[in-house]
Amino acid sequence: MQNRTLLSFDWAVKRLLRNKANYVILEGFLSELLKRTIKIKQLLDSESNKEHSFDKFNRVDILAENEEGELMIVEVQFTSEYDYFHRMLYGAGKLITQFVAKGDDYAHVRKVYSINIVYFDLGKGNDYVYHGSTSFYGLHTGDELQLSPAQQKEFGMTRAGDLFPEYYILEIQRFDDIAKDTLDEWIYYLKNNKIEDDFKAKGLSQARELLDYDKLSDKEKQAYDRVLESRRGERDAFYTARIEGWAEGEAIGVEKGRTEGMEEGLRNVALNAHRVGIPLPDICTLTGLSKDKVQDIIDNS
């Protein structure tokens, strides 16, 4: 059995998968994840897809509308963010409001799927694929709230919770490289940029051909290699700032106490991040400090 080196998924999203002729690849991934056939009607612009300068290499997202009118935002995130769960929530909420016109009935609210491909530990858990949805249960009877027959006919759903956003998190680094089903075959590719010859998941046969690194021109290969190198450099700077800052803070904590050590650790993380050129909004994300607090640390260093 052999495998082939392919372009990374985030590169494909930015450069290739936005072409309607190539929707089949993204459709395949979404179909395997959601366990039903997904057909993309169009790709859309999202107001939530605002990038900092650091995000150029750190993350990418794509918003699709399927033939049922559902909205699916797929985000690839490389660097850890302590408030990433909140950003998932904000992004789904923003989509709901963005695609409802003023004066429309609430029945026009779209179903939203937030699909997050992350390359860091998000929360604490043992799995590598998580699904979050809403359910309503009776406090006294324990029964789950269902839609009425009229609502089911109107909305094409059964459970009241089906109307609400759903979230998927794929923690790629936790995958053990053993593909036990077709979704795992996709995760194998997302982790290794390779597809085994015997993989059968939807969309992967097309990905083998379209995302072949060797088919790029020399100029395209150079551009692709530069992006990967830049991303590695950005991630190294991000983690170095964090590790060195906390190490210095822990040393102070041994001498002066845990609280003061934690405060000094955050201060040093902020300063180290600033020195390597990480933008202010990303320093806030890294440390959990407010913009004013980070600016004050920088100004008084």
* Residue % of the chain over a pLDDT of 90: 50
Is the pLDDT at 234 greater than 80, yes or no?
no
Residue with tokens 């269902």: 146
pTM over the 0.85 mark: no
- Is residue 297 scored above 90 in pLDDT? no
Confidence of residue 133 (pLDDT cuts 50, 70, 90): very high
User: What rounded mean pLDDT belongs to the chain?
Assistant: 83
Write the CB contacts of 124 (distance below 8 Å, at least 6 apart in sequence): none
pLDDT at position 82, please? 73
Tokens of 48: 């939530």
* 3-class SS of residue 114: strand
pLDDT of residue 196: 93
Mean pLDDT is lowest, of 100-104, 199-203, 207-211, for 100-104
- Confidence at residue 69, expressed as pLDDT on a 0 to 100 scale: 94
The amino acid that residue 137 corresponds to is Y
58's enclosing H/E stretch is helix 55-58
pLDDT band at 283 (very low <50, low <70, confident <90, very high): confident
- Give the pLDDT score at 145: 98
Query: Is residue 274 over pLDDT 80?
Result: no
* Least confident piece of the model among 11-25, 118-132, 218-232, 238-252: 238-252
Question: What mean pLDDT is predicted for residues 219-231?
Answer: 73
Compare 287 and 214 and report the one with higher pLDDT. 214
Alpha carbon distance 272, 281 (integer Å): 14
Q: What mean pLDDT is predicted for residues 182-197? A: 96
So what's the pLDDT on residue 254?
A: 44
Q: In this structure, are strands 59-66 and 40-44 parallel, antiparallel, or unpaired?
A: antiparallel
Instruction: Give the residue, 103 or 22, on which the prediction is more confident.
Output: 22
Residue 100, pLDDT score = 85
| pLDDT score of 54 | 43
pLDDT digits (tens, 9 = 90+) for 160-175: 999 999 999 999 999 9
- Predicted confidence at residue 113, as pLDDT, reads 98
Give the model confidence (pLDDT) of 28-73 as tens digits: 999 999 999 999 999 997 655 544 444 444 678 899 999 999 999 9
Q: What is the mean pLDDT of the segment spanning 139-166?
A: 96
The pLDDT assigned to 52 comes to 45
End-to-end CA distance of the chain: 57
Q: Which of 17-26, 105-114, 136-145 has the highest mean pLDDT?
A: 136-145
Q: Of 171, 184, 203, 195, nearest to 77 (Cα)?
A: 171
